[in-house]
Chain A
Amino acid sequence: MLKSISQLQVHFNLLKSATSLQQQVRTTFILKRKYDPLLHKTNENPRRMRAKNFIYELVEDTQVKKRPNMEVVLKTFVEGVGDKGDVVSLKPNFVYNKLLLPGLAAYKTPENIEKYAKTEAEKSTVQHSSAYAQRTVNMLESIVLAVVMNKDQPWVIEPWHIKASLRKAGFHCKDECITLPNERIEGPDLKKEGKDFYCTITINKLEQAKLKCRLHHWSTDPSERLPYVLEHWKIPSEPLLGVNLPSEKNV
């Protein structure tokens, strides 16, 4: 009975196909003896080791060691990484899963660098100003910017109002990046409270983001203030009457 089982196992092993892909397994542990064996006399055999000589202390586990960055050449523009032909150095897991497997990048070799370098034609037609511009566009388009204006003093919205409001929301930009709608937006006007208008943010004079702004009125005197609206950005949008999108000509 035992024999037959062993034969069966042999047959299974024979039937098994050899693995063509040898996966590298990192199972190296660097150890250190806790108790060193005693020295032995010259020209004599070493002493027999005791049980305690086989107690080890872990020095390093190579499995949890941080692996160095990997360099690859990008085949196309990748958002948040770089443009075509760029040599980027990133964490190996990210490179493997997000760049090499989807075919967005190739290993850095002199041939690959040459192969994926930008041609003159591609250089002249710039589509992306930087790796992170698109992310900024996405984030700007996803928010509803609160533009807090005064309830008592007259005002006309100017680019620096939007700039200051963006800074309060954690976005940094310059005055010249902001394009307001052509129509003047004046106040204080409580009819405009909570109404939306759009302005355009131009990143690196190339990418454009449509930013939704919501007007709010604020008074310096606490008793004059309007009741607090919790999470105003979740309230459905109501456009500001008579204000259109900023025209493309100005940009």
Chain B
Amino acid sequence: MQSLLSSIRALAVRQHPGDALRCLHLTAVTEAARKGTREKARKKKVKVEVKKVGFIPHNQRDNKINVKRADKHVDDSWKQVPKDDVYVGRYYRWTVYSVAEAIQCHRETHHPSMYNVPNAPLNVEIELNMQGEKATRFVDNFQRMAMIPHKFAHGEERKIIVFTKGNNEIIEAREAGASLVGGVELIKDITAGELLLSDYQYFIAHPNILAELIALRGLMKRKFPNPKSETLGTNLAEMITKFSNGISYSASKDEYQQNFGLISACVGTLDMDGQQLEENIRYLLQDVDTMRPKREGRFINRVLLKSPPSSEQLKIDPFVYVPELWDKSTMKPKREPSGKKVEAEEQDQAVAQQASN
């Protein structure tokens, strides 16, 4: 009986040799699959390499890191408004001058009896809130040309090339003060390399030559005439006067504070008529205001008038000349064309890239 039981047990316990073999991975297919999954898992792991930094002497360490910086947007609205006729400036809000008053103050300090620089340049510093539509987005640095009604010697050399076909327009452009005016033959000269585009700062074109001008797209790159930067249009004389007399300014964001932008531009000299200076400031501010992002709140935060060699900075109210807050109703009709222009610019860039490649 016992022997029978043991033989049955032996039968039950003994494994079939085929089963044992099946447990081993022998086929190439399964092996490859395992290999792939392992690789994947290995790739998923991101190695964090800790770089060892040796000892840096204290005097060579970058002090700019971890420095607490004061907010560059000055807000003194918590201070009092002066009531006395003589007061200490630092305890009160900044005095807001009218442009005429501020110019008068600068003229006093530059009078022959004091600094004796009556023809000193009048500089405008515009402080911008560069925050874009979202809190994490910022307006890009921009460089623009503001047209001004009253010209002055800005001391820059501005060479302008004008491309146009019509004879009348060529004469018109010459009279307006373009340094070089030409048509198809000028384009050929440039493509042949006889004329260097880098000698000229501004390129203006009439739409009638646009088809031929495309050959120069790769050479001009971002300077290619386009209606957004007002370098392409039918009114050549106006564009030329704008580029020869206008105020060239650039807004740059602060290195450490992205939402603070500063524009410093010269709007004239102190010996100019006060009204003319005010007009120039008005046109400059209106030009800056066109870059306003589509969001609530102020874009221009503060405007200061300066005039070297005096270090005085006099605050003026910019909202006499431009709207203070963003108005949705006024912006809506403008939105569509601006969107199209952006597209056009993108296309321009794409074409320019292709050409450069």
Q: In the bound complex, do residue A203 and residue B113 qualify as a contact, i.e. CB atoms below 8 Å apart?
A: no
- B312 touches which one: A154, A163, A168, A220 (CB < 8 A)? A168
Per the bound structure, the CA–CA distance linking A174 and B85 in Å amounts to 7
The segment from A64-72, A104-112, A126-134 found at the interface with B is A126-134
Task: Please give me the residue from chain B that is nearest to A171 by CB atom.
Answer: B88
Given contacts A150-B115, A218-B115, contact A132 B90 (CB under 8 A): no
Q: Is B220 close to A, CB under 8 A?
A: no
In the bound complex, residues from chain A placing their C-beta under 8 Å from that of B90 are 170
Closest chain-B Cβ to A154's Cβ sits at a distance in Å of 8
Q: Is A173 close to B, CB under 8 A?
A: yes
In the bound complex, residues from chain B placing their C-beta under 8 Å from that of A156 are 113
Interface residues of A in 187-205 (CB under 8 A from B): 201-204
Interface residues of B in 295-337 (CB under 8 A from A): 310-312
Per the bound structure, the CA–CA distance linking A174 and B310 in Å amounts to 20
The segment from B104-112, B154-162, B168-176, B243-251 found at the interface with A is B104-112
Q: In the bound complex, do residue B88 and residue A139 qualify as a contact, i.e. CB atoms below 8 Å apart?
A: yes
In the bound complex, residues from chain A placing their C-beta under 8 Å from that of B116 are 150, 152-153, 220
Q: Is A50 close to B, CB under 8 A?
A: no
Q: Is B40 close to A, CB under 8 A?
A: no
Interface residues of B in 51-93 (CB under 8 A from A): 82-91
Q: In the bound complex, do residue A150 and residue B83 qualify as a contact, i.e. CB atoms below 8 Å apart?
A: no
In the bound complex, residues from chain A placing their C-beta under 8 Å from that of B91 are 132, 135
In the bound complex, residues from chain A placing their C-beta under 8 Å from that of B105 are 164, 167
In the bound complex, residues from chain B placing their C-beta under 8 Å from that of A152 are 116
Q: In the bound complex, do residue A172 and residue B87 qualify as a contact, i.e. CB atoms below 8 Å apart?
A: yes
Q: In the bound complex, do residue A170 and residue B88 qualify as a contact, i.e. CB atoms below 8 Å apart?
A: yes
Per the bound structure, the CA–CA distance linking A161 and B111 in Å amounts to 10
Q: In the bound complex, do residue A164 and residue B114 qualify as a contact, i.e. CB atoms below 8 Å apart?
A: yes
Q: Is B95 close to A, CB under 8 A?
A: yes
Q: Is B117 close to A, CB under 8 A?
A: yes
Q: In the bound complex, do residue B84 and residue A150 qualify as a contact, i.e. CB atoms below 8 Å apart?
A: no
Interface residues of A in 165-221 (CB under 8 A from B): 167-168, 170-174, 177, 201-204, 209, 218, 220
Per the bound structure, the CA–CA distance linking A202 and B85 in Å amounts to 9
Q: In the bound complex, do residue A136 and residue B113 qualify as a contact, i.e. CB atoms below 8 Å apart?
A: no
Per the bound structure, the CA–CA distance linking A171 and B87 in Å amounts to 6
Closest chain-A Cβ to B201's Cβ sits at a distance in Å of 32
Q: In the bound complex, do residue B109 and residue A129 qualify as a contact, i.e. CB atoms below 8 Å apart?
A: no
Closest chain-B Cβ to A143's Cβ sits at a distance in Å of 10
Q: Which of A150, A163, A174 has the most CB of B within 10 A?
A: A150
Task: Please give me the residue from chain B that is nearest to A202 by CB atom.
Answer: B86
Q: In the bound complex, do residue A150 and residue B113 qualify as a contact, i.e. CB atoms below 8 Å apart?
A: yes
Task: Please give me the residue from chain B that is nearest to A152 by CB atom.
Answer: B116
Q: Is A160 close to B, CB under 8 A?
A: yes
Per the bound structure, the CA–CA distance linking A177 and B86 in Å amounts to 8
Q: In the bound complex, do residue B112 and residue A136 qualify as a contact, i.e. CB atoms below 8 Å apart?
A: no
Closest chain-B Cβ to A210's Cβ sits at a distance in Å of 13
Q: In the bound complex, do residue A168 and residue B310 qualify as a contact, i.e. CB atoms below 8 Å apart?
A: yes
Closest chain-B Cβ to A172's Cβ sits at a distance in Å of 6
Q: Which of B83, B85, B105, B112 has the most CB of A within 10 A?
A: B85
Q: In the bound complex, do residue B310 and residue A204 qualify as a contact, i.e. CB atoms below 8 Å apart?
A: no
Given contacts A150-B116, A161-B113, A220-B115, contact A136 B108 (CB under 8 A): no
Q: Is A149 close to B, CB under 8 A?
A: yes
Q: In the bound complex, do residue A220 and residue B117 qualify as a contact, i.e. CB atoms below 8 Å apart?
A: yes
Given contacts A150-B115, A150-B116, A164-B108, contact A203 B310 (CB under 8 A): no
Per the bound structure, the CA–CA distance linking A61 and B73 in Å amounts to 31
Per the bound structure, the CA–CA distance linking A173 and B87 in Å amounts to 7
- B89 touches which one: A135, A160, A172, A204 (CB < 8 A)? A172
Per-position contact with B for A76-102: 1 when CB-CB < 8 Å, else 0? Answer: 000000000000000000000000000
In the bound complex, residues from chain A placing their C-beta under 8 Å from that of B82 are 172
Closest chain-A Cβ to B160's Cβ sits at a distance in Å of 35
Provide 26 A-B residue pairs closer than 8 Å at the C-beta atoms, listed in order of the A residue: A130-B84, A132-B83, A136-B84, A136-B86, A136-B87, A140-B86, A148-B115, A153-B113, A154-B113, A163-B108, A164-B105, A164-B109, A168-B311, A170-B89, A171-B86, A171-B89, A172-B86, A173-B85, A173-B86, A174-B86, A177-B86, A201-B86, A203-B84, A203-B86, A218-B115, A220-B115
New A-B contacts (10) at CB < 8 Å, excluding given A136-B88, A174-B86, A203-B85: A150-B114, A154-B113, A161-B114, A164-B105, A164-B114, A167-B312, A168-B310, A170-B89, A171-B87, A172-B82
